[in-house]
Amino acid sequence: MQAYIRYKGSANLTMGPTEVDHAPTFVRIIHFSDSSGKVQALFSQNRFLDLTALSRLTKRRLLPRSVSPINGDVLLDANRTPTYIDKSLLNEERVALQHDKNTDADYLARNTMSGRQLGEKLASQLTYIENITHTPENMQYPVIDMGNDEDQMRVALGRFQSIRLKQRLEETLEIPPLSGSSSQIIQLCADPNANSEQLCKIVNLDPSLSAQVISWASSPYYGVTDPVESIEDAIIRVLGFDMVMNLALGLSMGGVFDLPKNGPKHYDDFWFNAVSHAVLMEALVKAISADHPKPRLGHAYLAGLLHNFGYLAISVILPPHFSILSRNLEANAHLPSDVVEMQVLHFTKEQLGAWLLKHWNIPSSIYGAVRYCKDKNYQGEHQLLANLLHVANNLLNEQHIDDELLTTLGLSEEIALQCRSRVLNSSQDLRDMVNLIRGET
C-alpha cells in the first residue's frame, strides 16, 4: 500500500515501507457553503473528494469557500457545523489533522489519534460518516501514448449527454482559428532558412504584437539599460532570433481564449503562472551544463508559456462542465490537477492542450513537452523538453524533484533552486510582463 505526505506545501510523494510504518494519515478538512450555511468535509490527504457524492448526501449545491485550499481548512465545531467524515478514515490506525505546513514530531505527538478516536471526538447530531472519496487505486489515468489521446477524448466527450458527439473531434471541439500573425510565425518556425528580416516583417505588420515584443524585451527582468526601439533591436541586443520568434507566437496566441470567469480560485494568476514557467524554462536551459544536450531556447520558453493552455481550451469547449471541474480542483487542490481532471472529464488539460497545439502545427517538441510534462518517467521523442518542463513545474509548485532526473538533464538541485529564486525575486517585473498579455499598462 502506498501512502502520501505533504512536501513543502502541496506535493504528494510516494513513501517507502519504513516511512509508511511511522507516518500517520493526514486528514484534509475543506469548508463548503451555500445559502443555508457552512458544511465541512474530512477525508484522507491521499484521496479524491467526490463532490457529486457530497451534493447527493447533503441535497445542497455546495461551493468550496477557501481562496487557495492547498493546505486545507481549520476544523470547525462539529456541534454547530454539519460535518461529513469519509468512512475510510475510521479504519486508519493513526491519523493527524492537517495544520498548514507543521508536521514536526511535537505537533504529531499532540495531534495524532486513531481514525476511530477521531470519529468519536467529532460525534454529534450534525456528524455523518459516509463514503465521499475515491482511492488512488480506483482513479482513472490518461492513456500512455499521445497517439491515443484523440480516442480517449472522443470517448470522454461521448459521456456528456449535453454534447452531441459528432463524427470528427475537430467539429465537436470547434477549434478557434489562429490570427494571421500566429499562422505566419508557425510557418516561419518550420522553415530552416528563416531569418530575422522575415520575422521582423511579420511582427511589424501587427502593431499591437510589435509593441508587446519590444516592451517585453525592455523589461527590467532582462536588465537592458538602453531603450529597445525596434524588433530588430530586441533580436540583436536582448532576446535573440529564436526567443523573439517563439515569444511573438506565444503572445499572439494569448488572445485566442479569454480567461474564464468561473475558474478555480487558485488559478486566478493564470498568466503570471504561464510567464513564470516561461522565464524559468529560459533560466534552466541556460544553466544546463555544457556536456549535456540543450533544447532550443525559444522552444523551451514557448513550452513554459503554453504549458497550461489546455485549461483555457476546456473553459471554451466544455463550459457546462468547466464549472464542475473548477469546484473539484478547489476541493482537491492537494492532488495533481491531472488526477482531478481525469476523475471529472476523463481526460487532462495536457492531453487537450497538446492536441490543440498539434492541430495548429506548433512544433512537435513543444506540444510533446506539454503532453508529457506531468510524467517524470517519460522517455521518448520529446523527453528532453518534457522533463525540463516537469522540473520547472515542480520547482514553482515547491514539489520534490528526482535527483536522477536533474542529473540526466545536466542540472543540480542547487542550480535549479537558484534559477527558481531568480524568478521569484523578479515577481513584480513578471507581473508587468503579464500586463502586456492582458493589454494593461
Q: Which residues of 189-227 are buried (b: 16+ CB within 10 A; e: fewer)?
A: beeeebeeebbbebbeebeebbebbbbbbbbebbebeee
Banded pLDDT at 389 (limits 50, 70, 90): very high
pLDDT interval class at 156 (50, 70, 90): confident
Which CATH number, 3.40.50.300, 3.40.50.1220, 3.90.960.10, 3.40.50.150, labels domain 4-138? 3.90.960.10
Q: What pLDDT score does 159 carry?
A: 65
Q: Rounded to whole angstroms, how far apart are CA atoms 437 and 182?
A: 15
d(CA 361, CA 359): 5
Identify the three-state secondary structure at position 293: coil
Asked if residue 281 has pLDDT above 90, the reply is yes
User: Could you tell me which of 170, 200, 208 has the C-alpha nearest to residue 184?
Assistant: 200
Q: Is the pLDDT of residue 21 over 60?
A: no
**What's the pLDDT score for residue 381?**
92
| Alpha carbons 65 and 83: distance in angstroms, whole number | 15
Q: What is the model's pLDDT at position 266?
A: 57
* pLDDT digit string, tens, across residues 73-131: 889 999 999 999 999 999 999 998 865 555 566 766 677 899 999 999 999 999 999 99
Sorted by sequence, the CB contacts under 8 Å of residue 192 that are 6+ apart come out as none
Select the more confidently predicted residue: 254 or 363: 363
- CATH number of the structural domain 146-174+257-438: 1.10.3210.10
Name the nearest CA neighbour of 340 among 12, 39, 59: 12
Please report, for the chain, the start and end positions of each structural domain, with discontinuous segments joined by +.
4-138, 146-174+257-438
Task: Supply φ then ψ for residue 334, to 5 degrees.
Answer: -80, -15
Q: What is the pLDDT of residue 317?
A: 75
pLDDT score recorded for residue 7: 27
**Cα(306)–Cα(293) distance, integer angstroms:** 22
Q: Could you tell me if 90 and 115 are in contact, meaning their C-beta atoms sit under 8 angstroms apart?
A: yes
Interatomic CA distance for residues 115 and 280, integer angstroms: 42
Cβ 437 vs Cβ 215: under 8 Å? no
Q: Is the pLDDT of residue 18 over 50?
A: no
- Tell me the residue ranges of DSSP E strands in 15-164: 25-34, 37-44, 48-49, 63-64, 83-86, 95-97, 112-113, 127-130, 133-134
Q: Are 69 and 330 in contact (CB under 8 A)?
A: yes
Beta-carbon neighbour count of residue 103 at 10 Å?
A: 17
